């Protein structure tokens, strides 16, 4: 993993510095999840990031939350963040409109390693909002499509209405040698697809366990079952990477809010090779 590259593009000398950025667009993905497109042409100038990195988004007078960057890393000028409204800051962000200003600092953290996936099959396994931090890696894989083998995207949501980026999911499926399988916990009258947990989708594909890299992001329980299933299918666990989205406060390793055993999610992660984090996944109340 190119950890040394993680913060290479920090446009500010002080990693704690928050910059004002204007919201260019708000898209509601479903009832409680929305995507903010931020105009990066103002204060921050050229802003680059690696797939998997996150920003701290700040609402003046309310506070900050860690949010993954969900747009195409090759796109300059704007930046997307897809946000699930759960608490104080994300609710305040959900009330923002086009033209409003919020604070941004970042990008922070490690990235999904693309170099290890060259010439191999890639299996992206994700649930719920977990597709957001994986979307930049999907864009990057598709941009250099010939450098990778099969691309398999397995995605699970609670219901059809909860699924993110539905139009894009269909578009990705049209790309050469890309398989997209989507499942929901509960269907509705319009849903003709799979029903069940995301791991059940693994039974519909044939993984070449000798030649596959897996990127996994979702609720911790989903990641735990996914890892068990991948292990059962013979995938060497050092070819599995996951993104941990624990409590984050300072994002630069000072405060300890995101400490996970001896590891800090903010500066060592959020993307980890599985062997580095697996012993901690089984421990409660870390």
Which chain residues interact with ligand FAD by CB under 6 A?
A: 54, 65-68, 82-84, 86-90, 129, 132-133, 245-246, 248, 258, 265, 270
Q: Which is nearer to ligand FAD, 65 or 184 (CB)?
A: 65
Q: Which residue is nearest to ligand FAD (CB)?
A: 87
Toward ligand FAD, which CB reaches closer, 212 or 243?
A: 243
Say which DSSP state 205 is in.
S
**Pairing assessment for the beta strands 78-84 and 33-39 based on DSSP bridges:** antiparallel
For the bound state, the minimum distance from the C-beta of residue 18 to ligand FAD, rounded and expressed in Å, comes to 15
**Under 8 Å between Cβ of 133 and 217:** yes
Phi, psi of 4 (to 5 degrees): -65, -20
C-beta of 83: minimal distance to ligand FAD in Å? 4
> Smallest distance from the beta carbon of 81 to ligand FAD, in angstroms?
6
**Residue closer to ligand FAD (CB basis): 27 or 86:** 86
Beta carbons of 185 and 156 less than 8 angstroms apart: yes
108 Cβ neighbours under 8 A, 6+ residues apart: 6, 7, 15, 53, 54, 55, 56, 66, 251, 252, 266, 267
In the complex, the smallest distance separating the C-beta of residue 222 from ligand FAD, rounded to whole angstroms, is 15
Q: Are 84 and 129 in contact (CB under 8 A)?
A: yes
Beta carbon of residue 56, minimum distance to ligand FAD (angstroms, whole number) = 9
Nearer to ligand FAD, 82 or 212 (CB): 82
């Amino acid at each position: 993993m190119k950890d040394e590259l993680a913060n290479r593009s920090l446009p500010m000398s002080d990693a704690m510095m928050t910059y004002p950025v204007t919201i260019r667009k708000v898209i509601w993905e479903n009832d409680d999840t929305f995507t903010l497109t931020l105009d990066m042409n103002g204060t921050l100038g050229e802003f680059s990031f690696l797939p998997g990195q996150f920003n701290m988004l700040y609402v003046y007078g309310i506070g900050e939350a860690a949010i993954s960057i969900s747009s195409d890393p090759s796109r300059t000028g704007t930046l997307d963040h897809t946000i699930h409204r759960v608490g104080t800051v994300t609710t305040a962000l959900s009330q923002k409109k086009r033209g409003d200003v919020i604070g941004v600092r970042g990008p922070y953290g490690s990235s999904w390693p693309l170099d290890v996936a060259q010439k191999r099959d890639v299996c992206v396994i994700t649930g719920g909002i977990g597709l957001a931090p994986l979307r930049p890696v999907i864009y990057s894989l598709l941009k250099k499509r010939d450098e990778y083998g099969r691309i398999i995207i397995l995605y699970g949501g609670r219901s059809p209405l909860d699924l993110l980026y539905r139009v894009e999911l269909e578009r990705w499926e049209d790309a050469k040698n890309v398989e997209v399988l989507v499942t929901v916990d509960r269907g509705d009258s319009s849903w003709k697809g799979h029903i069940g947990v995301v791991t059940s989708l693994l039974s519909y594909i044939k993984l070449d366990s000798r030649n596959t890299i897996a990127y996994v992001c979702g609720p911790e329980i989903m990641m735990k079952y996914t890892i068990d299933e991948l292990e059962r299918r013979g995938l060497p666990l050092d070819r599995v990477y996951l993104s941990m989205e624990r409590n984050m406060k300072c994002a630069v390793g000072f405060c300890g809010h995101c400490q996970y055993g001896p590891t800090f999610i903010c500066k060592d992660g959020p993307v980890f090779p599985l062997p580095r984090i697996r012993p901690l996944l089984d421990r409660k109340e870390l």
